[in-house]
Amino acid sequence: MGAADVVPGVSGGTMALILGIYYRLINAIKSFDLYWLKSLLRLDFRTVIGRPHFNFLVPLGIGIFIALIFFTRVVPLPVLIKTHPEQVYGLFFGLISGSIVVLIYEIKQFHFRDILSLLLGVIAGLYVFNLVPATTPDTPWFIFISGAIAICAMILPGISGSFILLMLKKYAYILNGIGHFDPGIIIPFGLGVITGLVLFSRFLSWLLERFYKLTLLFIIGLLIASLWVIWPFQERTYKLMRGKEYLIDSTPVFPETVSGDVITALVLGTAGIALVIVINWYIQRGDS
């Protein structure tokens, strides 16, 4: 998940779904509920410590943190994305493609409303990914909303939180605010993230509990649509901000020649598909 969050256009929620921990993640976020908050105000530290799923969240958080450090310092994905974009995106394209195959395989029967839910997910994803960035205000209330929407996208498979910030024209503004430790940006953005995380995780959990198959198919549709963004061969536009280049736009293209980079991207994509299938087989074997 940490590696996915480093790559623009890839959702951490997608990686959680591939690894088979997505539903545990949603339930763990839900464990910070109103009862937990009341216990905190009562200084009931036994409930405060015991109620949340820290046995899941702590190792997950450590893993994400280590991955963020590893893939920005040791194996610098942000640099590799610029120097070898076809290979990096090829691997993630394979991972997401493999997850789509595995998830669809688990659905034994398709009815009309199932196909409709899948198509709605594809349409919704393509609509979001092809939205033209708009001019938006820099006021605290909109920064709050941006944080809430971005975190919702981050935990929803198929949609990247960084992409949503780009769409809202707030990626550079918020990034600069965090880099300069500007409380006028960090505080409303952080509050928006917390609010979106608390509310959306409960809404998503409610959908999965009552409409599991339809919700899963909608998510698969989002994953299918995300392949448009993760396609390894793109014409990419970068913008220089604070001495660093950041991706602001990309358009999928088909390679005109079969070069070494194209072959490597295809090999890594195939490896990504195989990796997901092996992980899913291992998880299914462990559950049986």
Task: Render pLDDT for 40-66 as a digit per residue (tens, 0 to 9).
Answer: 888 878 887 877 788 888 888 888 778
The pair of three-digit structure tokens given for residue 270, joined into one six-digit string: 């195939």
- Which whole number is the average pLDDT over 140-154? 84
Q: How far apart are CA 279 and CA 221, in angstroms?
A: 22
Whether residue 249 has pLDDT greater than 70 = no
pLDDT for residue 135: 62
- Which whole number is the average pLDDT over 186-212? 86
111-136 pLDDT tens trace: 889 999 999 999 988 887 776 555 67
Task: Using a cut of 0.75, tell me whether the model's pTM lies above it.
Answer: no
Q: How far apart are CA 172 and CA 165, in angstroms?
A: 8
Closest CA to 171 of 149, 201, 187, 156: 149
The pair of three-digit structure tokens given for residue 126, joined into one six-digit string: 């393509």
Strand ranges for the chain from DSSP E: 234-241, 244-252
The pair of three-digit structure tokens given for residue 106, joined into one six-digit string: 């688990």
Q: In this structure, are residues 76 and 64 in contact, taking their beta carbons and an 8 Å threshold?
A: no
To the nearest whole percent, how much of the chain has pLDDT over 90? 7
Q: Which range in 8-22, 90-104, 133-147 is most confidently predicted, on average pLDDT? A: 90-104
Strand ranges for 66-194 from DSSP E: none
Closest CA to 158 of 101, 212, 104, 97: 97
Under DSSP, the state recorded for 132 is P
Closest CA to 6 of 95, 81, 90: 81
- Note the helical H segments in 70-138: 77-83, 85-106, 112-129
**In sequence order, which residues have a C-beta less than 8 Å from that of residue 151 and are 6 or more positions away?**
161, 192, 193, 196, 197, 200
Q: How far apart are CA 14 and CA 95, in angstroms?
A: 9
Closest CA to 275 of 62, 19, 14, 40: 19
Phi, psi values for residue 68, rounded to 5°:
-60, -40
Q: In this structure, are residues 92 and 272 in contact, taking their beta carbons and an 8 Å threshold?
A: yes
